[in-house]
Amino acid sequence: MLTLAVAVFSFFAFILAYNTYGRWLSQRIFQVDPKALVPAKELQDDVDFVPTDRQVLFGHHFTSIAGTGPIVGPAIAVFWGWLPALLWVVLGSIFVGAVHDFGALFVSLRNRGQTIGEVAGRLINWRARLLFLFILFFALTIVLAIFGLVIASIFKEYPESVLSVWVAMPLAMLIGYWVYQRKGSLLLPSLIALAILYLCVYLGVYYFPFSLPDSVHIAGSPVVTWTVVLMAYCFVASVLPVWLLLQPRDYINSHQLVVALALLVAGLAVAGLTGQADLAAAAPAIAAADEIPVGAPPIFPFLFITIACGACSGFHCLVSSGTSSKQISSESDAQFVGYGSMLMEGALAVIVILACCAGVGMGRAQQGDEIVGLNKVENEQVELVTGRQAWRSLYAYGEGQTWSSFNLAKKVSAFVEGGANFLSTIGMPHKLAIGIIAVLVACFAATTLDTATRLQRYVIQELGTTLKVPPLANKYGATFLAVALGTAVAMIPASAAAGPGTGGLILWPLFGATNQLLAGLAFLVLIFYLARRGKSVMFAVIPAVMMTSLPVIGLGWQIFGDGQWFDSGRHLLVGFGVLILALQAWMVIEAIVLYPKVRGVLEESLPPLPTAGAESAAPNC
């Protein structure tokens, strides 16, 4: 019953927070005005600025911020125990992440839909805007590397997922053409595409699992080969019109997520009520010292860095201020979209934690006595691994693991297998359940991957224009650099003896640190916005301090402490880390120097809009 009780308590906390703290922020701090003229109506062009129904926008926004961040982070962090991960997800989502997302969305709404970086240039100074671009550049490079490895690992471990993921791409393009070029409806075609997607899951599981032949492996690794293929896809996706692939695919994925979450919650409820999932027996609430892999980072500050998207993610401010603020049809929808979506992501992270602990502990077999997935061993006649033994085989040092062998693919697989175990309790064949969860993870990782590539292209083009480097200002040149850098970082080995493409777990804290630094900057922009208007900022000060100090502590440990990046000659990681620390120091100094001077002083007003008949000057996101 503990498994179900944890889920119910967490979901209740999210609902309570939305109707109390979220409402307080909306009404007392931000003072949202349903009658205010929003950017979607003021600058409506039916391309970027489009008044959108809040239910549709919620699905788009949630799909865009979720990706696999709330899956990968918690799936790694539960090696410290399920309780610390759960507390950070629940409390972090309510008091840090949702505030960050809602604040970025609101500030953008009050600034004609400008991105948080553009607003920073006016609220703080032009250097803050340049700082924002550099932080984005480093964060997105790590995102491309990490999520390229995640999808490649899913394809390797679960070949049954390959067919569905690749079929989703032409389906999305057909829908995009139908809706935008033929002016057709969206809902029915997307539901048909969803049905085809699930049919392909069935076919991939039982008839057409696809694995790359050994003859085409790059560096002898299917993960490396798939990563290169995915990066090539990202190049194409990034230069295509956004309506042709990204938008329709996100809409299909939003339906897929609703179905998958409903199935997971139903399975979790049955498993909890029947006692099949026993959280207390399956994993420690707080892991003992002899259960933590040798060389693993300390729980502080790395818990708050490892679980980024499940509790707070700087990447979200790009979605809030880059796209969603241009589609909200009324300020009264901002709490629902901004604060509510982050709480939904927190709920997904809670399900991941329970799946990686209680779900994995169920230890179900695929067919009869055949042991599959995480429970697969050389001799398939041995007893099925269940309970704490299953968790220890994945996370605990007692099984001979070290941090360098604590690979990313197995952690993602923990959610796939544990989630499939939940689905099997409602009568779904375990083999099909694995296919459904694997496709869910891969599709959402793909959403993050090519969206990040497009955003990185924008950042590189803007840097190229600012620094007067013409090749980088070109769409194709910027995209090539984005893809090339992401591929290069993805090839980092976990150790001197390991091959390329194995360093995903090492990269994750680097992503988390950069991501939290970006969140810190977004909080500073929010603080400056409110301070200039003489409003209370204390609710944002503690999250801002957390998101600016934790990356420093974490990167210091990685570079100069027991992480040993410097001593072991990991020059690329050291280079990234030192640059991030320098940007961190720059950001904090700028804020400390300027804050006393700006409190109560309004920033320069936005320039007037062009008169009727003049060419539109809508800001470019």
The 10s digit of each residue's pLDDT in 104-113 is 999 999 999 8
Q: Which long-range contacts (CB under 8 A, 24 or more apart) does 365-370 make?
A: 365/430, 366/430, 366/431, 366/434, 367/430, 367/431
Note whether 5 and 82 are within 8 A (CB). no
Q: Is residue 304 part of a domain?
A: yes
Cα distance between residue 453 and residue 457, in whole Å:
6
What pLDDT shows up at residue 266?
A: 94
Six token digits for residue 536: 């209370």
Q: How many Cα neighbours within 13 Å face the side chain of 465?
A: 10
* pLDDT tens per residue across span 199-248: 999 999 999 999 888 888 888 889 999 999 999 999 998 888 877 887 78
Q: Is residue 98 part of a domain?
A: yes
Cα distance between residue 105 and residue 152, in whole Å:
33
Q: Is 363 exposed, middle or buried (0-12, 13-18, 19+ CB in 10 A)?
A: buried
CB atoms within 10 A of CB 445: 26
Lowest mean pLDDT among 61-70, 148-157, 254-263: 61-70
What pLDDT shows up at residue 480?
A: 94
Q: Is residue 447 part of a domain?
A: yes
Q: Is 303 exposed, middle or buried (0-12, 13-18, 19+ CB in 10 A)?
A: buried
Cα distance between residue 450 and residue 19, in whole Å:
34
Q: Is residue 238 part of a domain?
A: yes
The yes-or-no verdict on residue 289 having pLDDT over 80 is: yes
Dihedrals φ, ψ of 221, to 5°? -130, 125
Q: What is the DSSP letter of 46?
A: S
Q: How confident is the model at residue 336 (pLDDT cuts 50, 70, 90)?
A: very high
Cα distance between residue 456 and residue 143, in whole Å:
10
Total structural domains within the chain: 1
Q: Is residue 501 part of a domain?
A: no
Q: How many Cα neighbours within 13 Å face the side chain of 219?
A: 15
Q: How many Cα neighbours within 13 Å face the side chain of 596?
A: 3
CB atoms within 10 A of CB 257: 20
The yes-or-no verdict on residue 304 having pLDDT over 90 is: yes
Q: How confident is the model at residue 620 (pLDDT cuts 50, 70, 90)?
A: very low
Sign of CA dihedral 37, 43, 45, 50: negative
Cα distance between residue 110 and residue 533, in whole Å:
13
183: left (phi over 0), alpha (psi -120 to 50) or beta: left
Task: Give me the mean pLDDT over the 593-616 stretch.
Answer: 76
Six token digits for residue 540: 């944002």
The yes-or-no verdict on residue 618 having pLDDT over 60 is: no
**294 three-class SS:** strand
pTM: 0.87
The yes-or-no verdict on residue 357 having pLDDT over 80 is: yes
Q: Which of 337-346, 435-444, 485-494: highest mean pLDDT?
A: 337-346
Tell me the residue type at 83: L
**218 three-class SS:** strand
Print the domain residue range for 33. Answer: 2-291+298-368+384-493+511-598
Q: Is residue 112 part of a domain?
A: yes
Sign of CA dihedral 10, 27, 591, 101: positive
Cis peptide before 500 (omega within 30 of 0): no
CATH number of domain containing 148: 1.20.1740.10
What pLDDT shows up at residue 199?
A: 95
Residues whose CB falls within 8 Å of the CB of residue 467, separated by 6 or more in sequence, listed in order: none
CA 347 vs CA 71, 97, 255, 478: distances in Å:
11, 13, 17, 36
The yes-or-no verdict on residue 380 having pLDDT over 80 is: no
What pLDDT shows up at residue 30?
A: 95
Six token digits for residue 616: 């539109």
Task: Give me the mean pLDDT over the 494-501 stretch.
Answer: 77
What pLDDT shows up at residue 517?
A: 86
Task: Give me the mean pLDDT over the 396-401 stretch.
Answer: 72
Q: Is 547 exposed, middle or buried (0-12, 13-18, 19+ CB in 10 A)?
A: buried
Q: What is the DSSP letter of 352?
A: H
CA 605 vs CA 110, 119, 274, 526, 576: distances in Å:
11, 11, 61, 17, 36
What residues form DSSP beta bridges with 221?
A: 218
Q: Is residue 617 part of a domain?
A: no
Cα distance between residue 121 and residue 126, in whole Å:
4
Say which residue the tokens 């990234």 belong to: 576
User: Average pLDDT over the chain, rounded to whole?
Assistant: 85
How large is the C-alpha radius of gyration of the chain? 23
Q: Is residue 39 part of a domain?
A: yes
Q: What is the DSSP letter of 557?
A: H
Cα distance between residue 49 and residue 169, in whole Å:
25
What pLDDT shows up at residue 371?
A: 39
Tell me the residue type at 219: A
Dihedrals φ, ψ of 449, to 5°? -65, -55
Tell me the residue type at 510: L
Q: What percent of the chain is helix, strand and coil (3-state, nearest 5)?
A: 70, 0, 25
* High-pLDDT (> 70) share of the chain, %: 94
